[in-house]
Structure 1
Amino acid sequence: MGTTFRIILYATEEEVARRAAQAAFNRIAALDEIMSDYKSTSELMRLCQAFATEVGPPVRVSDDLFTVLTAAERLSRRSEGAFDVTVGPLSLLWRHARRTQELPAPQELAAARAKVGYDKVRLDPVRQTVQLTVPGMRLDLGGIAKGYAADQALQLLREEYGLSRALVAAWGDIACGDPPPTETAWRVQIAPIAAAHKPRFLNLSQAAVSTSGDLEQFVVIGGVRYSHVLDPRTGMGLTGRRSVTVIAPRGIDADSLTKAVSVLPVEQALRLIAETPGAAAYIALLDEATGEVREIASPRFAQFLAEPDKK
């Protein structure tokens, strides 16, 4: 999935902790073999390969892959396409753009966009099959798979080893179980959008948080800064400095919602969050000309804020 996972857990026996951590990492590795778009042998890429040149019959997929694709389709509809895992052809163009420092050619962008659209994926929950209705489509689960993997690792630790006091972090995606023994919550810092901007701290328990933005992943072409987050509807990397943090009961939701909230206009994004049970959002907008940061938060966000001066 193109990132590093970290696990923090509490156990009374060191050997149990070792076995549990290894099992959780094995589960994450197994999910990487299913959902990575960096590996040609992954189940996801083999699914895309089945429709590389023609629209063949539906393909039966694993429980994990079908679960993630179903969740992705649901959010795509709710966000009116602001979140869309069919952006794979566009992702490839922008990976090349970051290497060459050149924008995708208009004809390349048009050809890639013709293969993008969540309505081009057909899911059959009865047969658990997937069909891509345009040849050459490519799915990219980078905006949802990490959160799902963190959820699954936490679930394994809790259900198979009885270790509920744990945290799983996958770069900007963190899933929290019960807090450490002497604490009432896990303390998580949101990276500030600018060095001069004060950080925010969260108290989380049995919740997940995800932060997305262009703080570290971006490309500057022709004096314009383009984020690695793409708008599936235009095919372009986002411009304008925006950092989005979403809290939700599950990692799969927090992970994917950050991408939708990053793409949507602020008012529409806040409506999406308000309609999601247990979700909260914090948006920081940086004016690069003045250095000023505008902060916007959904009403539920305040309940997760922690005091900044606490150790």
Structure 2
Amino acid sequence: MLLMPMSKSQVLKVVLLLNSFIAFCNSSTAQVLLKRQVTLMGSVFQFTLVDRDSVLAKRNMELVISEVKRIEQLISEWQPETQISAVNRNAGVRPVKVDREVFDLTKRAIQYSRMSDGAFDVSIAAMDKIWRFDGSMDEMPEEAAIKKSVERVGFQHIILDSANCTIYLERTGMKIGFGSIGKGYAADKGRALMQAAGVKGGIVNASGDMTTWGEQPSGKAWVIGITNPFKRHKIIKALKLKESAVVTSGSYEKYAEIDGRHYSHIINPKTGYPATGLTSVTIYGPTAEFANALSTSIMVLGERDGILLLKRFPGYKGVLITDKGKSLFIP
């Protein structure tokens, strides 16, 4: 075949087209993976972002960290200047006006309490701390002390006024706290912010409450392993996740061993006694907030009632491990 020579202008056009094609390929396929670990909300957060370039990745990393800090400054019960601290200080005194975001989170927490028949209760923050889970406890507290410890607990006494956007705790000494679902909520919000910013994929790991989206730079799904608390070196299930969330509630790190019985650091808000029967509950589904509400509730409810609760929400699945080491995969 005879090839005709090209003019300088034709050569220039070819070069420009080639450069445009290369630039398009680079912009559509080039990816960087950026990781960072930060202490936030009293816990270790690990952020993983898959972005188009390192400049964007660093900028978006600062955005997602700032988002978690913003949420902490709204809902922390330990920082005196937060809205939740103001609600707690005014328990039994007056309603406190809060941001709609705080109001809605509290409203959902009350819904979780109702769905679990009180196994989950955002007002457990007021419970007397009579249990120790640092290995120093070798006998049960007095029954009267256990009963007294939950006197100020009760989601039924959280009064919400949607028109005025206020929260009122009816009983003096009541408190609400988001230690159970707050980190999951922050992980969900962080993921949503990064998706809106165009970040291609990533993980927000809020000390075990994880949200994922997109893919790894290789194009593969994120793989999250569920470990066996009785055999830490073994993975009992590997989850391949894209846009999903996974959380674990467990008693394998913080617990008390009394008279040969295992007592979880997760307390039943209605009785004041630690949960027994389950060593860990892992829930995975669309959001970390709701998954955490489920995992906490199931730890308290136990195997039978916990499975019945989970089956009411087919968008969520679970792995339950009993105190005897039995693994249950639901559904």
**Which residue does the alignment assign to 1:266?**
303
Please say if 1:176 is aligned against 2:216: no
Closer, same or farther in 2 for the Cα pair 1:154/1:127, shift >3 Å? Answer: same
Quick check: 2:277–2:302 contact (8 Å CA) kept in 1? no
- Which has more strand, going by share of residues? 2
Closer, same or farther in 2 for the Cα pair 1:48/1:100, shift >3 Å? Answer: farther
Quick check: 1:68–1:144 contact (8 Å CA) kept in 2? no
Aligned-partner SS, 1:284: strand
**Which residue does the alignment assign to 2:222?**
186
1:100 positional shift: 6.0
**Which residue does the alignment assign to 1:48?**
88
Please give the per-residue CA displacement for 1:172-229, whole angstroms capped at 9, x wherever unaligned.
Answer: 2101111224234210011212117653211111110101111212233455432111
Quick check: 1:146–1:255 contact (8 Å CA) kept in 2? no
Q: Within 2, Cα distance between the matches of 1:106 and 1:286? A: 24
**Which residue does the alignment assign to 1:295?**
327
Quick check: 1:2–1:38 contact (8 Å CA) kept in 2? no
Aligned-partner SS, 1:191: strand
Closer, same or farther in 2 for the Cα pair 1:221/1:267, shift >3 Å? Answer: closer
**Unpaired stretches in structure 2, ≥5 consecutive residues:** 1-40
1:88 positional shift: 1.1
Q: Within 1, Cα distance between the matches of 2:98 and 2:145? A: 30
Quick check: 2:278–2:302 contact (8 Å CA) kept in 1? no
* Structure 2 counterparts to residues 216-295 of structure 1, below 5 A: 216-221=253-258, 223-287=260-324, 293-295=325-327
**Which residue does the alignment assign to 1:308?**
none
Comparing 150-159 and 274-283, the one that deviates more: 274-283
RMSD: 2.1
Q: Within 2, Cα distance between the matches of 1:277 and 1:40? A: 39
Comparing 75-84 and 111-120, the one that deviates more: 111-120
Q: Within 2, Cα distance between the matches of 1:124 and 1:274? A: 32
Quick check: 1:192–1:198 contact (8 Å CA) kept in 2? yes
Q: Within 2, Cα distance between the matches of 1:46 and 1:254? A: 28
**Which residue does the alignment assign to 1:16?**
56
1:30 positional shift: 1.6
**Unpaired stretches in structure 1, ≥5 consecutive residues:** 288-292, 300-311
Quick check: 2:133–2:255 contact (8 Å CA) kept in 1? no
**Which residue does the alignment assign to 2:68?**
28
Quick check: 2:187–2:210 contact (8 Å CA) kept in 1? yes
Please give the per-residue CA displacement for 1:124-158, whole angstroms capped at 9, x wherever unaligned.
Answer: 22222111111100112111001000011111111
Q: Within 2, Cα distance between the matches of 1:80 and 1:93? A: 24
TM-score (norm 2): 0.81
Number of aligned residues: 289
Please give the per-residue CA displacement for 1:44-69, whole angstroms capped at 9, x wherever unaligned.
Answer: 22210111xxx223211123322221
Quick check: 2:134–2:254 contact (8 Å CA) kept in 1? no
Q: Within 2, Cα distance between the matches of 1:144 and 1:281? A: 17
Quick check: 2:51–2:200 contact (8 Å CA) kept in 1? no
